[in-house]
Structure formats: C-alpha cells, structure tokens
Amino acid sequence: MLGKTFFLDRAKSRSLDWIGRYPALECSSRDPQSLSGGRQIVVAAADDVGVRCVFFSSIGSVRDFSATWAELGGARQWWHFVGRWYYWVADCESTLAAIRQNCHQEVAGYAHAPDGVNRHDDETFLGWLDSVERRARRNLGICAPQAMLESIDEYSRIRADIPEPDGALTPMVRFAH
C-alpha cells in the first residue's frame, strides 16, 4: 500500500463524533488567527516504533491514523506531502523531532507539553487532545466566536449527561471507540 490508499485504509473517520468536541482544531484552517495560522492541523504523538496522528481537514473531516515508521517508509511520497502541508502539534519535542526525521524535512509545528503521551492509550491520548483543543481556543479569531464554543460545550454536556465543570469550557463528552 502506498500513499493516499495506505492512509485511507488505515485511518478511522472521527468526523461525526469529534467535530463538536474539537471545534477550534476543526476550523483552524479557516482562521488566520488560529493556532496553525490558517493551515490544516494534525495532532500527533510518536514513539520509537511509530506515530498516531489526528488530521483535521478544511472540509470538516477528522481522521485518526496510526502507522509504524517502517510502514510510512513505503508511503514516503504521501508522508512527505503530509509533513509539508499540515501544521503539526506534537505531544513533546521528541515526537516533533521524530516526525521531522521521518519526513526528511523541517515541518512547521510546535511541541505542546514537556512529556510524551502514549499513542496506544485512547483515554490518555484523548485527554491530551482535549488540552490541545483548549489551547487552540485561545487563538481563535473570526472562525468561532466564544459564544459558539460555549453553546457547543453545553450541547455536549447535555448529550452526555455530564455535569458542568466549574468555569471550564472543555468539552467532556466520552465517545466509544
């Protein structure tokens, strides 16, 4: 499997469950004041064996993708394109360095936290993705006014029957995987 086919075969579509959970990341490509400066964004965690990436596209799709570095070596042209096209938010500096090393280029992005996240642990990974969303909300300009984010959070809590946290705007919906 090479390139796009490899990605499409391996990626899990998360659009329906996650669009309401991550509105700032989803609309970052349409907002020049966003965390990514208007670029499509991918959030990633990696280890010595491979990487897990969540891609937020400009058309509203969200794809959760995992692969080993060896597998990505067979899809080098696609992986190189992804490295250049997207803005990367990594869990830590070592993930960002691994992505840069395995894309053979300088990718634009930043490390979100000093410690890495286990890419195989869904609960930890989603908790970290929630924290990236909170960070992304601080940068939103024209795309998603604060009132819209508050209404999305309220809808999410009602749907999940989760009590409202003290002053927090974090969506707290838990989805089945």
CATH of the domain at 60: 3.30.420
Do 149 and 24 touch, CB atoms closer than 8 A? yes
Average pLDDT for residues 130-155, to the nearest whole number?
Answer: 67
Output the pLDDT for position 148.
54
Average pLDDT for residues 142-163, to the nearest whole number?
Answer: 49
Q: Is the pLDDT of residue 150 over 50?
A: yes
Output the pLDDT for position 19.
72
| CA-closest candidate to residue 135, choices 101, 100, 170, 86 | 170
Range of the domain at 120: 3-143
Q: DSSP string of 136-177?
A: HHTT--SSS-HHHHHHHHHHHHHHHT-PPPSS----------
Domain assignment present for 174: no
Domain assignment present for 123: yes
Domain count, the chain: 1
Long-range contacts formed by 100-106: CB under 8 A, 24+ apart = 102/51, 102/69, 102/72, 102/73, 103/79, 104/80, 105/80
Domain assignment present for 116: yes
* Dihedral sign of CA atoms 16, 22, 28, 30 in order: positive
Which has the higher per-residue pLDDT, 18 or 130? Answer: 130
Q: Is the pLDDT of residue 151 over 80?
A: no
Q: Calculate what percentage of the chain has a pLDDT beyond 90.
A: 12
Which has the higher per-residue pLDDT, 67 or 156? Answer: 67
Domain assignment present for 149: no
Q: Which helix (H) or strand (E) holds 18?
A: helix 15-18
Output the pLDDT for position 66.
93
Alpha carbons within 13 A on the beta-carbon side of 82: 24
| CA-closest candidate to residue 87, choices 110, 57, 63, 108 | 108
Q: Is the pLDDT of residue 167 over 70?
A: no
Domain assignment present for 46: yes
Domain assignment present for 160: no
**What DSSP character marks residue 35?**
T
Highest-scoring range by mean pLDDT, 70-84, 101-115, 159-173: 70-84
Output the pLDDT for position 78.
84
Domain assignment present for 161: no
Residue 14's pLDDT band, with cuts at 50, 70 and 90, is: confident
Which pair of structure tokens corresponds to residue 126? 């989603």
Domain assignment present for 148: no
Which has the higher per-residue pLDDT, 65 or 146? Answer: 65
Q: How many whole angstroms separate alpha carbon 168 and alpha carbon 162?
A: 13
Q: Is the pLDDT of residue 97 over 90?
A: no
| 114 SS3 class | coil
